[in-house]
């Protein structure tokens, strides 16, 4: 895809979703963001939002979480998917943050992905939300939308991230992540995308193939 076309697409997405993005780009607490994102795998954000207030009230720091009993954490997070594995992971993560990083969530991606339950996507979320670092977490929405439009041509989230990082201006990476998520939630659904309402349909490879 031509560079000028990419910039036009990004401009249109920005225009459509600037209001959606503002709350997400507020700097957030690294510890809470990290644990919430670990818990969000295969679970809706709404469900995670329901259980994290009690979790962080009981365990407000990595130190306290690292000393928690697995059964107690399981009780609090039982409504999220894979809660048993996640309980073990967040406790181990809290302990490791204290033992290896002085009680602070590490800012380097290479260090973050060493934490139990933390993959590249989770680390990227923490980078953009808590450290204002440019990154491109690729979830199901970003993967679907980027490849449908033609911003990426990839079969894996990792390759999609690699391609998006190359074509999106560094200063826009964090915001673009949220523009793509918003577009996936509002217009570019997994099933029955609303192409007739899509602001970037004229540039979209998927839409062109429908004609």
State the catalytic residues: 121, 139
Is residue 134 left, alpha or beta, with left meaning phi > 0 and alpha meaning psi from -120 to 50?
beta
- Give the tokens for residue 38: 């670990």
- Give the tokens for residue 65: 């979480």
Burial profile 81-99: b = 16 or more Cβ within 10 angstroms, e = fewer? eebeebbebbbbbbbbbbe
User: Sign of the CA dihedral 91, 94, 116, 34?
Assistant: positive
């Amino acid at each position: 895809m031509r560079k000028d076309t990419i910039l036009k697409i990004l401009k249109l997405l920005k225009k459509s979703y600037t209001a959606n993005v503002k709350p997400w780009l507020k700097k957030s607490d690294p510890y809470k963001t990290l644990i919430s994102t670990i818990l969000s795998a295969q679970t809706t954000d709404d469900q995670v939002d329901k259980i994290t207030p009690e979790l962080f009230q009981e365990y407000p720091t990595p130190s306290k979480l690292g000393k928690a009993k697995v059964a107690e954490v399981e009780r609090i997070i039982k409504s999220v998917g894979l809660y048993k594995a996640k309980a073990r992971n967040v406790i181990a993560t809290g302990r490791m943050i204290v033992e290896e990083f002085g009680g602070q969530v590490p800012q380097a991606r290479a260090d973050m992905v060493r934490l139990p339950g933390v993959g590249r996507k989770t680390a990227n979320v923490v980078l953009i939300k808590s450290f204002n670092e440019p990154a491109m977490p690729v979830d199901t929405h970003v993967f679907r939308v980027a490849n449908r439009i033609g911003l990426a041509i990839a079969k894996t989230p990792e390759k999609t991230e690699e391609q998006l990082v190359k074509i999106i201006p560094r200063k826009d990476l964090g915001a673009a992540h949220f523009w793509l998520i918003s577009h996936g939630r509002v217009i570019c659904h997994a099933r029955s995308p609303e192409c007739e309402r899509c602001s970037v349909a004229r540039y979209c490879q998927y839409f062109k193939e429908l004609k």
